[in-house]
Amino acid sequence: MSALPLQVKNKDASAVFITRFIQEFKFKLCITEHEKQLAYRLRHDVYCEELEYEEASDPIKKLEFDIHDQNSIHCLIEHRRTGLVAGCVRVVMPQASRPHPLNQLPLQSYGSQSLTHAELHPDKLAQGSYYEISRLAVNRLFRIKLKDSSTSLESSTTNHNVTFFSTEERQLFPLLATGLFVTGYALGRQLGKIQVFAMMEPSLPRLLALTGFHFTKVGETINFHGRRSAYYINKQQSESGLKKSLLPLYLHIQQTLALQLEEMLAQDVSTSLIT
């Protein structure tokens, strides 16, 4: 999986792909309960039905959520033409005043014994300076590799309407995982956080390294939804390493989310996490 489609090395071609990605996808905060349920539904589709990592939290509505969603702001990437949710991610901010486990990152709840780094441990960092990017999920319709120039797939999220993707649209799909991480990172920066943790399978840090996000592994590998390890990166490392080709995407997401955060504050939604 490449950071840019087809391992694009030409700067002009890279810029075209990034511009098209911005034009064809929306980046949205989940402000309403309906929007949150869109994220929970995609998580159910991926984590419960497809990968069988989790039990459904609400089997009737087909939703997956957990206690850490109380400390989270959720983001969606939506495909403009079809209206499909292509991916979701959440930013989790522990609250020191709240009872366990809401005073910790999710990765501390299930993997605390695996966190072995002498310095880069949440308990040794300034409270309120860090957050976790987690529950990153890409809709399987945007992950399946297809040989035909035009394809149709039946999606349960569109009331069994047939969804068509052209070859040109599918060229952008490999950018989604990177786009979701950049969205989570940009949101954390908007919230004033400067240190990021994530529990990732080995392939994702390698993918993100191609974009300039060079993580430090801060824990032993554990079996949790497959083989995963805790990783860390801070503001200085992220922004000094970010590839110039991705800067327009980062700035677009940052500006888009800033406007939506203003709306969230105006509606008094999740203000305990923002203030």
**Chain segment 139-151, per-residue pLDDT in tens:** 999 997 655 434 4
Q: What is the pLDDT of residues 13-37, one digit of tens each?
A: 789 999 999 999 999 999 999 999 9
β-pairing, 85-92 with 195-200? unpaired
> How far apart, in Å, do the first and last CA atoms of the chain sit?
38
Q: What is the pLDDT of residue 5?
A: 52
Confidence band for 162, pLDDT divided at 50, 70 and 90 = low
Strands 216-217 and 227-234, by their bridges, are antiparallel
pLDDT at 147: 53
Residue 268 has pLDDT above 70, yes or no: no
Closest CA to 257 of 151, 172, 179, 142: 179
Please state the rounded mean pLDDT for residues 180-200. 97
| Residue 97 pLDDT | 94
Q: What is the mean pLDDT of residues 194-205?
A: 96
Q: How far apart are CA 107 and CA 74, in angstroms?
A: 17
Helices 247-266, 176-190: inter-axial angle, 10-degree rounding: 50
Instruction: State the pLDDT at residue 4.
Output: 55
**Residue 127 is encoded by which pair of tokens?**
């409270």
Residue 159 pLDDT > 70, yes or no? no
Q: What is the pLDDT of residue 267?
A: 80
Percent of the chain with pLDDT over 90: 81
Chain centre distance of CA 263:
21
pLDDT of residue 1: 40
Residue 209 in this model has a pLDDT that exceeds 60: yes
Share of the chain residues as helix, strand and coil, in percent rounded to the nearest 5: 45, 25, 35
What is the reported pLDDT for 174? 94
Q: For residue 7, is pLDDT > 50?
A: no
What's this model's pTM, rounded to 2 decimal places? Answer: 0.89
The reported pLDDT for the residue numbered 12 is 67
**How far apart (Å, rounded) are the C-alpha atoms in residues 132 and 175?**
21
Query: pLDDT digit string (tens) for 87-131?
Result: 999 999 999 999 999 999 999 999 999 999 999 999 999 999 999
pLDDT digits (tens, 9 = 90+) for 214-261: 999 999 999 988 899 999 999 999 999 999 999 999 999 999 999 999
In contact, 28 and 252? CB cutoff 8 Å:
no
Per-residue pLDDT, 80: 98
pLDDT of residue 92: 98
Closest among 142, 145, 150, 143 to 167, alpha carbons compared? 150
| % pLDDT > 70, the chain | 85
Report the C-alpha gap between 40 and 61 in whole angstroms.
Answer: 10
Average pLDDT over residues 177-205: 96
